[in-house]
A and B are shown apart, each in its own frame.
Chain A
Amino acid sequence: MSLLTAAGVSKSFAGIRALDDVGIEVAVGELVGLIGPNGAGKTTFFNCLLGMLRPDEGTVSFDGHDLSRIPTHRRAKLGIGRTFQRIELFGGMSVREHLLVAERAHRGEGRLWKDIVGRGRVTAAERERADAVLDRLGLLADAERPIESLSLGRGRLVEIGRALMTDPRLLLLDEPSSGLDHQETEELSAVLRAVNLDEGVAILLVEHDVAMVRALVSRVFVLDFGTLIASGPTETVFADAGVRRAYLGAES
Chain B
Amino acid sequence: MLEDFIRSVFQGVPVGAVYALIALGFTLTYKTAGVFNLAFGAQAFVAAAVHWELHVHNGWNVAVSAAIAVLVVSPALGVALDFVLFRHLRAASSGARLVTTIGLLVAIPNITKLVLRFTRHPSTGGARGLFSGPDVVYRPFGDAYPITRDELVQLGVVVVAGLALGAMFRFTHLGLRMRAVVESPRLAELGGVNSARVGSFAWALSSAFAGLAGVLIAPTYQNVDAANFFELVIAGIAAAAFGSLVSLPRAFAGALGLGVASTYLATVLPTNSVLARGLKPSLPFVVLFVWVVIAPGLRGQRDVADPLSGVAPPPPASAADERSRSLTIATRGFWSVVGVIVAWAVFFAINDFWLKRIQVLLAVGVIFLSITVMTGIAGQISLCQAAFAAIGAFATTQLAVEQGMSVLVGMLLGGLVSALVGGLLAMPLVRIGGVWLALATLGFALFFHSVIAQLAVVNGGVSKPRTPRPLIGSIDFAADRAFIVLELVVFAIAATIVVLVRGGTTGRFLAALRGSEVAAASIGIGQWRSRVTAFALSAGLAGLGGGLLASAQQSVNYDVSFSPQVGLFFVVVVVTLGSRSIEGALQAAFGFVLFQPLILERALPWVINHIQPFLHVNAISGLFRDILFGLGALTFAKHPEGILEFQKRRSLNRIQRSIDRRKQQPTEAGSTP
Contact = CB atoms under 8 A, between A and B. Distances in A.
Given A101-B511, A146-B319, A149-B319, A73 B504 contact: no
| Interface size range of chain A in the complex | 35 or more
B511 A92 contact: yes
Interface stretch (B49-57, B514-522, B652-660): B514-522
Secondary structure class of chain A's binding surface, majority of residues: mixed
Nearest to B537: A112
A90 B519 contact: yes
Interface stretch (A25-33, A158-166, A175-183, A243-251): A158-166
A116 to B, nearest CB: 6
B524 A111 contact: no
Contacts of A90: 511-512, 514-516, 519-520
B509 A105 contact: yes
A89 interface: yes
Interface string A82-94: 1010001111111
A232 interface: no
A29 B518 CA distance: 26
B501 A116 contact: yes
A15 interface: no
A106 B527 CA distance: 14
A72 B521 contact: yes
A116 B498 CA distance: 8
Interface in B477-507: 497, 500-501, 503-507
A72 B522 contact: yes
Interface string A53-97: 000000000000000000111101100011010001111111001
A106 B524 contact: yes
A91 B521 contact: no
Interface residues of B, number: 34
B317 A115 contact: no
A102 B505 CA distance: 10
Nearest to B534: A112
Contacts of B518: 52, 72, 84, 88
B317 A110 contact: no
Nearest to A115: B504
B520 to A, nearest CB: 8
A231 B501 CA distance: 50
Given A115-B501, A144-B320, A110 B506 contact: yes
A21 interface: no
B505 A166 contact: no
Contact of B505 (A74, A111, A148, A159): A111
B533 A112 contact: yes
B137 to A, nearest CB: 55
Contacts of B516: 88-91
A92 B524 contact: no
A102 B515 CA distance: 13
Interface of B: 314, 316-317, 319-320, 497, 500-501, 503-509, 511-512, 514-516, 518-527, 529-530, 533, 537
Interface of A: 50, 52, 71-74, 76-77, 81-82, 84, 88-94, 97, 100-102, 104-106, 108-112, 114-121, 144-146, 148-149, 159, 162-163, 165-166
